[in-house]
């Protein structure tokens, strides 16, 4: 049974807050927004794995959520490719959401 210190949890929370701040401040490109969302998901998976580590099944839990994050990343990249092919770039200001 592994007990993690408060420093590890605070680093994971700092990662999550860094992802939120980059999502809010760097929203000019769609790729920047997708990368910050992916960073937030990975930090939340890390927090969940730290929370469920005394249970003993954190490996299966982490792999399940990691596979969900991979599917989300693949879907985001496919949408990014579609938007770049249809609009020519990934600026948020260059396309209207009703056209997509």
Question: What are the backbone angles phi and psi of residue 90, rounded to the nearest 5°?
Answer: -115, 25
Residue extents of the structural domains in the chain: 6-87
Highest-confidence segment of 2-6, 21-25, 58-62, 65-69: 21-25
pTM of the model: 0.74
pLDDT of residue 57: 65
CA–CA separation, 75 and 33 (whole Å): 14
CATH placement of domain 6-87: 1.10.287.3510
Q: Tens digit of pLDDT for each residue in 52-83?
A: 777 666 677 778 878 888 888 888 889 888 88
For residue 34, how many C-alpha atoms fall within 13 Å in the half-sphere facing its CB? Answer: 19
| Cβ proximity of 1 and 52 under 8 Å | no
Nearest C-alpha neighbor of 39 from the set 25, 11, 19? 19
């Amino acid at each position: 049974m592994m007990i993690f210190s408060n420093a590890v949890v605070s680093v994971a929370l700092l990662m999550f807050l860094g992802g939120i701040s980059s999502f809010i401040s760097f929203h000019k490109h769609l790729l920047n927004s997708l990368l910050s969302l992916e960073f937030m998901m990975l930090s939340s998976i890390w927090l969940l794995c730290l929370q469920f580590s005394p249970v003993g099944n954190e490996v299966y839990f982490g792999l399940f959520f990691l596979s969900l994050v991979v599917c989300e990343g693949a879907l985001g990249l496919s949408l990014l490719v579609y938007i770049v092919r249809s609009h020519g770039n990934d600026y948020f200001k260059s396309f209207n959401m009703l056209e997509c």
